[in-house]
């Protein structure tokens, strides 16, 4: 009985800390007090700081600072017309001087040097995250890889206004890949299946970080299923909202080993579309279970958030 209570308490702590992590992620552009963050997770100020570090491995300040720096690093590459000062302010830094000092400590170079060192890449946050590459040709444009061009012809891509999703989720922190994803979904299915949520709910995987900037062991991934509002969270199951809005939605039907190539194709299409990524996480929206497909294929959408024109 005692062990059961302890396990329940530990899972409850993790679920509430995930809520605090999400709150920080969505509010990097403004000052955040420890009291405000603790309140979103229903913790007292007295205990919150220690519990957060025990679960996440970083203090609240360290976690917030790292996310701001990683967002700024992504913005330096994707928003090349924005000044470094503007990016620093948008990412919650009090001055360009403070930003430059923190950036150098984290990345080993100044923001301007970082931007110049990546000058050949026209990648945004998520493009780097999924290793999109386009070879720079001898002319003035970009030459796409022939195999990638072939995959793009088999892809259905469109810009759509996606709904807001209220989801139950299980978070895993670690390198993006099969093991991390399957672990998160297995835990989610053990809860969602008996609850009947798989019959009508949408299933998806949300990717929060860019492994080109964020250390792989700190990358966050959420396995999600949409549920009615008011659904009660249990154990490691958390509740959150995936924002609606305009997304590039790229439909694929592929074998399980084709996911990296699918992401490359989606971003190759995006680069040529004239749209820009927004600073929100991408997600995969699944339309089937590959185990039930006659050829063992996944049918799913890669959904990339877009800035309004």
Inform me whether the pLDDT recorded for 48 exceeds 90.
no
Inform me whether the pLDDT recorded for 153 exceeds 90.
no
Structural element, H or E, at residue 129: helix 125-129
pLDDT at 132: 31
Q: Average pLDDT in the 124-133 region? A: 39
Single pTM value for the model: 0.70
Measured at the CA of 291, the angle between CA 187 and CA 208, to 5 degrees, comes to 45
Mean pLDDT, the chain, whole residue set: 84
Which tens digit of pLDDT belongs to each residue from 70-94?
A: 999 999 988 888 999 999 999 999 9
pLDDT at 137: 28
Inform me whether the pLDDT recorded for 144 exceeds 50.
no
pLDDT at 3: 56
CATH 1.10.10.60 fits 2-117, yes or no: yes
Domain with CATH 1.10.10.60 in the chain: 2-117
Inform me whether the pLDDT recorded for 134 exceeds 50.
no
Cα(298)–Cα(226) distance, integer angstroms? 19
In CATH, which superfamily holds the domain spanning 158-305?
A: Regulatory factor, effector binding domain (3.20.80.10)
Inform me whether the pLDDT recorded for 105 exceeds 50.
yes
Cα(141)–Cα(124) distance, integer angstroms? 18
Q: Is residue 267 exposed (0-12), middle (13-18) or buried (19+ Cβ within 10 Å)?
A: buried
Strand partners, 248: 159, 304
DSSP 8-state secondary structure symbol assigned to residue 140? S
pLDDT at 309: 64
Cα(192)–Cα(51) distance, integer angstroms? 27
Other beta carbons less than 10 A from residue 222's beta carbon: 24
Domain with CATH 3.20.80.10 in the chain: 158-305
27 or 79: whose pLDDT is higher?
27
């Amino acid at each position: 009985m005692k062990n059961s209570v302890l396990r329940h308490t530990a899972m409850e702590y993790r679920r509430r800390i995930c809520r605090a992590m999400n709150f920080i992620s969505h509010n990097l552009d403004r000052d955040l007090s420890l009291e405000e963050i603790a309140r979103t997770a229903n913790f007292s100020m007295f205990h919150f700081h220690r519990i957060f570090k025990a679960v996440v491995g970083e203090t609240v300040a360290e976690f917030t600072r790292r996310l701001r720096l990683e967002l700024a690093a992504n913005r330096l590459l994707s928003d090349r017309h924005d000044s470094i000062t503007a990016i620093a302010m948008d990412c919650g830094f009090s001055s360009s001087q403070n930003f430059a000092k923190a950036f150098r400590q984290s990345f080993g170079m100044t923001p301007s040097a970082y931007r110049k060192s990546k000058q050949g890449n026209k990648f945004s946050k998520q493009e780097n995250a999924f290793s999109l590459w386009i070879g720079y040709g001898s002319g003035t444009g970009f030459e796409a890889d022939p195999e990638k061009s072939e995959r793009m012809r088999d892809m259905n891509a469109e810009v759509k206004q996606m709904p807001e999703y209220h989801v139950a989720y299980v978070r895993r922190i670690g390198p993006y890949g099969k093991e991390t994803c399957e672990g998160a979904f297995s835990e989610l299915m053990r809860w969602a299946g008996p609850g009947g949520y798989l019959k009508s709910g949408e299933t998806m995987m949300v990717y929060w970080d860019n492994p080109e900037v964020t250390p792989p062991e700190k990358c966050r991934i959420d396995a999600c299923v949409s549920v009615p509002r008011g659904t009660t969270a249990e154990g490691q199951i958390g509740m959150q909202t995936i924002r609606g809005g305009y997304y590039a939605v790229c439909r694929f039907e592929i074998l399980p080993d084709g996911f990296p190539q699918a992401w490359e194709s989606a971003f190759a299409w995006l680069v040529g579309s004239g749209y820009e990524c927004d600073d929100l996480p991408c997600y995969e929206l699944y339309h089937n279970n590959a185990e039930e497909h006659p050829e063992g294929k996944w049918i799913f959408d890669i959904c990339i958030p877009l800035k309004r024109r």
